[in-house]
Amino acid sequence: MQRFKDKVVIVSGAGSGIGQAAAIRLASEGGTVACFDVNQAGLDETINTINSEGGTAKAWLCDVSNQDAVNNAIQEVVDQYSQLNALCNIAGILRFDHTTDLKLDDWNTIINVNLTGTFLMCQAAIPHLLKTRGSIVNMASTAALGAHAWTAAYSASKGGVFSLTKCLSVEYAKQGINANSVSPASISTPMAKASVLPEGFDQSLLAKIMPFDGPPRPPSKIASVIAFLASEDADHLNGIDIRADGGIMT
Ligand SMILES: NC(=O)c1ccc[n+]([C@@H]2O[C@H](COP(=O)([O-])OP(=O)(O)OC[C@H]3O[C@@H](n4cnc5c(N)ncnc54)[C@H](O)[C@@H]3O)[C@@H](O)[C@H]2O)c1
């Protein structure tokens, strides 16, 4: 499948986990992938993997919560490749806290990266996506759809991404942009592995987050969904969220 031949795609969070898997998948389908992240070592790994498989990718060290950095990086991508066909906003951060202990600084950081970062990327990319009738794929979470304990900021940020995506899907539908989101659950990534539950947490609330020992859930399970939504195969999908959680919430 070469759904991204002659297409240029930006992937944020491309240095690790789901974003890295998405960048590799999009490149394997012929796309030129602009990889954004704050993790240089992770970006190097992604670019090396793509290059070794014969794909085309370039790294941008870019903090998605920094407006100047985002505007400059997206302009550089368009200057270099002359077009932008899809934007995949995968970068995100997570931490668990009892809500009464959650520091305002941590709340602000999570909202700034997950929600404001997604907004800034969309705002800067939309003028270019309008020229190609391109696609936006945002990363929501089952934490926004169902109840998770200890993730007040994270759940709120992902709920914001969910609503932002729907807003964009209506606002730009007539001009040919489609915007959709993905809501994964418990995918094996560095984020999931590094997450530390708050001290004294109530075990009985854990079932809401990790309810079963099912088959392995590597990031490639979500990369395929992202690639679908970013491709012309999903042209007639707009304003939807694909819950890719292996049935956890069913
Ligand atoms: N792993 C899961 O089960 C799961 C479930 C639901 C949603 N998600 C979402 O999927 C996305 C990817 O998560 P993951 O599990 O692959 O995590 P991950 O930690 O492996 O990858 C996240 C990447 O985002 C980058 N990043 C963080 N802050 C950034 C910033 N300010 N600017 C640019 N890049 C930044 C990190 O450096 C990292 O490379 C996140 O938005 C996350 O919330 C993950």
pLDDT digits (tens, 9 = 90+) for 188-200: 999 988 889 999 9
pLDDT in tens, 184-231: 998 999 998 888 999 999 988 887 666 556 778 999 999 999 999 999
Is residue 141 lining ligand 1, measured as CB closer than 6 Å? Answer: yes
* Helix, strand counts (H, E) of the chain: 9, 7
- Tens digits of per-residue pLDDT, 94-122? 999 999 999 999 999 999 999 999 999 99
Q: Which two tokens stand for residue 54?
A: 């014969």
Helix (H, G, I), strand (E, B) or coil at 62: coil
User: pLDDT at position 192, please?
Assistant: 87
CA dist., res. 125 & res. 102, Å (int): 33
Q: Which fold has domain 8-243?
A: Rossmann fold (3.40.50)
- Both tokens of residue 229? 């939504």
Q: Is the CB of 154 under 6 A from ligand 1?
A: no
Residues labelled catalytic: 154
pLDDT digits (tens, 9 = 90+) for 65-76: 999 999 999 999
Q: In ligand 1, which atom is closest to the CA atom of 182?
A: 7
- Tell which atom from ligand 1 comes closest to the C-alpha of 112: 31
Pocket test for ligand 1, best of 16, 47, 138, 145 (most atoms within 8 A of CB): 16
pLDDT of 212 reads 55
